[in-house]
Structure 1
Amino acid sequence: MTIGTSALAVSYVPNSSEPKESSIASENTIILNDSALIEKSEKMFPDSVKPEAIGVTLKNKKLVGQFYYGDNPFLVDSVKGPMATGPKIVFEETASGGVNSEYGVGAGDIETSFGIDINYEETVTRTYQFDPIPKNKFLTYMAYVNYSVYEFDIYSWGSYVGEGTYWIPVGIVIEHDLT
């Protein structure tokens, strides 16, 4: 059985601040990342960039980790057992990256000055096969977009002025429970 996201879609609202819920796999949390999207996120923003015209340098990029918006699933659904073979679900969502900074370097500044589009949209698609569901049990799951989150330092004319954060969609996080 394959279920698409049309089962029960939740209104997905993009966030203007970076995701804070740490993406850690556990018994009830599954991380489904796309290695091509992770590679793309790593190459998207150079380790150090300096546009001579405006005197701002962004450097010391480092991966903080992977996070998601724990209060904003794009899909919530429940399936009742018995199911000898658990449901196979295709999770798909289109999401944008984002950027915040202390010095006021925003996504538009980065795009204009450095030619890097932080707010581009990426469609993330992952498939997962759940375990069988026993009789009279419900499998409830919530799906979220997973992001790689990076920090960088901002210098103006050689002086440190603050730091920034940017995030790029790289996969899907699934929280599930059998009750």
Structure 2
Amino acid sequence: MLRGEFLLVRRGLTPDDVRKSTDALAGRALDLPELAHARTVAAYVSMGSEPGTLALLDALRARGVRVLLPVLLPDNDLDWGAYEGAESLARVRHGGGRMALLEPAGERLGPGAVTTADVVLLPGLAVDARGMRLGRGGGSYDRVLARLERAGADPALVVLLYDAEVVDRVPAEPHDLPVHAAVTPSGVRRFR
């Protein structure tokens, strides 16, 4: 029910709202010390009314950062590919054609490629005061976070959100891991 409420608010955003937030979000994120020193960043291409990521991806790439983007697998796990600019993305339909994602069209690097990242930028619908992230419920990023933990990898975990999506509390399961920071158009909130 909570996911539905956040999605409903996002659906009410205009393209202009999303565009303004995208520019502000990219600026805030690029000021993060974690991103300033990152050699590899695992990120994602925003879809619909999610806070926009393409400006951030392009800015990271212009800095010489290796950007990895997810490729959704049939079991909802994620493979990874390198971002080589917007022209390197292909629109791929999933879920019997119900959902279209922009994914890297080049070589697949395997699900373990994310363990090389210095920073992982996570999608989400909300984050709470403990740093617990509410995702869309598909479990893809739960698998990514578990893979990082099993590998002993310790990248900075950063969720990209709108300002109103930083809330007091979201439901959390025992396996959920908190993020280190949330970036919104108006600022950065740090956890743990």
For the criterion TM > 0.5, the same-fold answer is no
Q: State the TM-score, normalizing by the size of structure 2.
A: 0.23
The structure number with the bigger radius of gyration is: 1
More strand by share: 1
Q: State the TM-score, normalizing by the size of structure 1.
A: 0.24
More helix by share: 2
